[in-house]
């Protein structure tokens, strides 16, 4: 199968490497606004060829859109304008906007909105890995007019990568990822800024940083060009989650101010029950 990857960074690059590794892709064509990324992807072996969007789509059986969520809808429309029977799917972290725009295009049946639930704090082609997706979840937001063959092909691809499939509509997806992904990044960004503000001496942070601190602020290394559009696109859901998160932080603050260690213990023990979710 000939596959076009539009966006050769972490997710697009990892999909390309994984689909090559499992023998699904016979050739991968790369499209990217960054010439540097394209050349890096070619050197690393992520892609076999470079081409313009229209040329790449015309040569392909499958098109994967792996660009920032603020750009993805525009790219999708350009792809759908030149598709015939190609299957097209995206991998963005927000779904409502792209699904709404796709629905207005006459070739929308060829498009499947998806979100493979994997990522790291790194970006660019050099961060790509061929062992990214096995055992992870892939969310599929199929619309009522999605072509059955297109949906089955996307299901087949994610299953071939060892992923388990979850189905939900675009709005449900955006609410859920606000809680389990977007708030985690905001918290990490905020904690990193807090520490950098209070600990002016960087060497002290380096010497004292424990594994717990490093894991908590790991996401703060994530690229702003990726996360600013995600947070903007999912603004209303993120604000709802932030309000609840701030409310919880205020409870901890109040306990310490009032020496209410009984309630503080209850808050911690209640938080411990997250194990039931994470360990199942």
Is the residue at 220 inside a domain?
Answer: no
| Averaged pLDDT of the chain | 93
- Would the pLDDT of 206 be above 70? no
Is the residue at 86 inside a domain?
Answer: yes
Taking residues 75-92, report their average pLDDT.
97
pLDDT for 87 = 97
The model's confidence at residue 211, banded by pLDDT at 50, 70 and 90, is low
Is the residue at 196 inside a domain?
Answer: no
The pTM (predicted TM-score) of the whole model is 0.90
Per-residue model confidence as pLDDT tens digits over 159-205: 999 999 999 999 999 999 999 999 999 999 999 898 888 776 666 66
Q: Looking at the structure, do residues 142 and 254 belong to the same domain, yes or no? A: no
CA angle 230, 88, 122 (to 5 degrees): 40
The last residue of a domain, from among 169, 198, 226: 169
Q: Looking at the structure, do residues 251 and 165 belong to the same domain, yes or no? A: no
pLDDT for 132 = 92
Q: Looking at the structure, do residues 40 and 162 belong to the same domain, yes or no? A: yes
The range of the structural domain enclosing residue 256 comes to 235-280
Lowest mean pLDDT among 26-30, 251-255, 271-275: 271-275
Per-residue model confidence as pLDDT tens digits over 96-146: 999 999 999 999 999 999 999 999 888 999 999 999 999 999 999 988 889
Taking residues 12-21, report their average pLDDT.
96
The model's confidence at residue 50, banded by pLDDT at 50, 70 and 90, is very high
Per-residue model confidence as pLDDT tens digits over 225-254: 999 999 999 999 999 999 999 999 999 999
Is the residue at 216 inside a domain?
Answer: no
Is the residue at 219 inside a domain?
Answer: no
Is the residue at 95 inside a domain?
Answer: yes
Taking residues 207-226, report their average pLDDT.
81
Nearest to 175 by CA among 220, 110, 240: 240
**CATH at residue 25:** 3.40.50.720
Total domains in the chain come to 2
pLDDT for 213 = 75
3-state secondary structure the chain: CEEEEECCCHHHHHHHHHHHHCCCCCEEEEECCCHHHHHHHHHHCCCCEECCHHHHHHHCCEEEECCCCCCHHHHHHHHHHHCCCCEEEECCCCCHHHHHHHCCCCCHHHEEEEEECCCCCCCCHHHCCCCCCCCCEEEEECCCCCCHHHHHHHHHHHHHCCCEEEECCHHHHHHHHHHHHHHHHHHHHHHHHHHHHHCCCHHHHHHHCCHHHHHHHHHHHCCHHHHHHHHHHCHHHHHHHHHHHHHHHHHHHHHHHCCCHHHHHHHHHHHHCHHHHHCC
């Amino acid at each position: 199968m000939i596959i076009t990857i539009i966006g050769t960074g972490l997710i697009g690059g990892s999909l390309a490497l994984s689909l090559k590794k499992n023998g699904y892709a016979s050739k991968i064509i790369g499209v990217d606004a960054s010439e540097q990324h394209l050349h890096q992807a070619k050197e690393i072996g992520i892609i076999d060829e470079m081409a313009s969007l229209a040329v790449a789509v015309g040569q392909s059986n499958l098109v994967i859109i792996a660009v920032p969520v603020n750009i993805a809808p525009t790219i999708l429309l350009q792809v759908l304008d030149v598709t015939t029977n190609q299957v097209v799917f995206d991998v963005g972290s927000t779904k409502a906007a792209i699904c709404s725009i796709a629905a207005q295009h006459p070739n929308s049946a060829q498009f499947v909105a998806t979100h493979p639930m994997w990522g790291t704090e790194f970006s660019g082609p050099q961060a790509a890995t061929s062992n990214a997706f096995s055992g992870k979840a892939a969310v599929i937001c199929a619309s009522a007019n999605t072509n059955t063959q297109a949906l089955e092909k996307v299901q087949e691809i994610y299953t071939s990568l060892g992923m388990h499939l979850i189905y939900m509509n675009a709005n449900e997806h955006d609410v859920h990822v606000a809680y389990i992904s977007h708030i985690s990044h905001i918290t990490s960004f905020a904690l990193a800024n807090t520490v950098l503000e209070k600990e002016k001496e960087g060497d002290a942070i380096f010497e004292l940083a424990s594994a717990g601190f490093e894991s908590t602020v790991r996401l703060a290394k994530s690229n702003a060009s990726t996360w600013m559009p995600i947070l903007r696109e999912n603004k209303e859901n993120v604000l709802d989650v932030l309000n609840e998160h701030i409310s919880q932080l205020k409870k901890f603050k109040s306990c310490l101010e009032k020496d209410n260690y009984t309630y503080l213990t209850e808050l911690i023990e209640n938080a411990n029950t997250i194990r039931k979710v994470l360990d199942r």
